[in-house]
Amino acid sequence: MFKYDDPLYDVTFDVKKNSQNWALYAQDEFNIFNNLILNFGLRYDKYTTFGSTINPRAALIYNPLEQTTIKLLYGEAFRAPIPSELYYSDGNITQKANPNLKPELIKTYELVLDQSLGRGFLVEALLFYNDIKDLITMETDPADGLIVYNNVESLITKGAELQLEKAWDNGIKGKIGYTYQQTKNALANQTVVNSPAHLIKATMMAPLLKNKIFAAIEEQYTSDRKLLDGSSASSFFLTNFTLSSANYIKAMEASMSVYNLFNKKYSDPASYEHLQSAIEQDGINFRLKVTYKF
């Protein structure tokens, strides 16, 4: 059941649909040589909304040296259309439904190098290439001027990642990573909306009470992103802070996080259904989480 009330047009959207899905998955590992492993998996999914899909995954893992690992990875995956994309309509005032949507499909290719540098240092270098097809996109149907979700775009994403980790004997751990990527429309060869070229993430975690209480600070950088009107959303830095405990009280885990610690003002690109081209995001906000296992 999917229900939505639109006070602007005095429309009540109330759709009752039944759907089922099930899946089978198999995986195995083969030792080609002592230092060369092939890992292979295959998944079959069946949906009553759009049919079936088969997605393989494979990993070739090579250890030329004790501290060196090289991985060649391939995978296929999908995203099934959600009920609002399939069935939402405001009575064909501005938007209509499309129950014939197909799933989004992606093929991923990755080449990974993991290298231990000794003294707690670990570096990871990654090259990646993603081929995305049938991306579900909101667009205007020229036949009637109504907004509708369709399987429209094909995207190509390619880039590289570099990450450095360090663990100290006193329990402090640090990590910094940089990602460069290009995501373009496969046909028009144009950069797509909401796709930053540069991402940086750095974290540092330190024990305040050994194996009991930890403090972690995280810094994120996102470069500017293209908006639908052709302009750009500005780049920004965000700082998050978390205080967590494990085993301080038996079987209980707790954390308190502060997101956007310095109340940075920033905006994310909007979609076709919004009036504005960018939407301002939350300022400083808090989260308290408690988990008890029994």
- pLDDT at site 2: 47
Handedness of CA 204, 248, 284, 234 (dihedral sign): positive
**Residue 226 CB: number of other CB atoms within 10 A?**
19
* 83: DSSP letter: H
Q: What gap in Å lies between CA 232 and CA 194, rounded to an integer?
A: 9
- pLDDT at site 252: 87
- pLDDT at site 7: 55
Encoded tokens for 275:
């009036």
H or E element that contains 86 = helix 83-87
How many angstroms separate the most distant Cα atoms in the chain?
A: 68
- pLDDT at site 11: 54
Stretches in the chain below the pLDDT threshold 50: 1-2
- pLDDT at site 6: 54
Contacts of 226 (CB under 8 A, 6+ apart): 191, 192, 193, 194, 195, 232, 269
Contact criterion met (CB below 8 Å) for 243 and 218: no
pLDDT in tens, 51-75: 999 999 999 999 999 999 999 999 9
Q: What gap in Å lies between CA 233 and CA 243, rounded to an integer?
A: 31
228-to-83, 155, 267, 276, 278 alpha-carbon distances in Å: 25, 16, 13, 10, 9
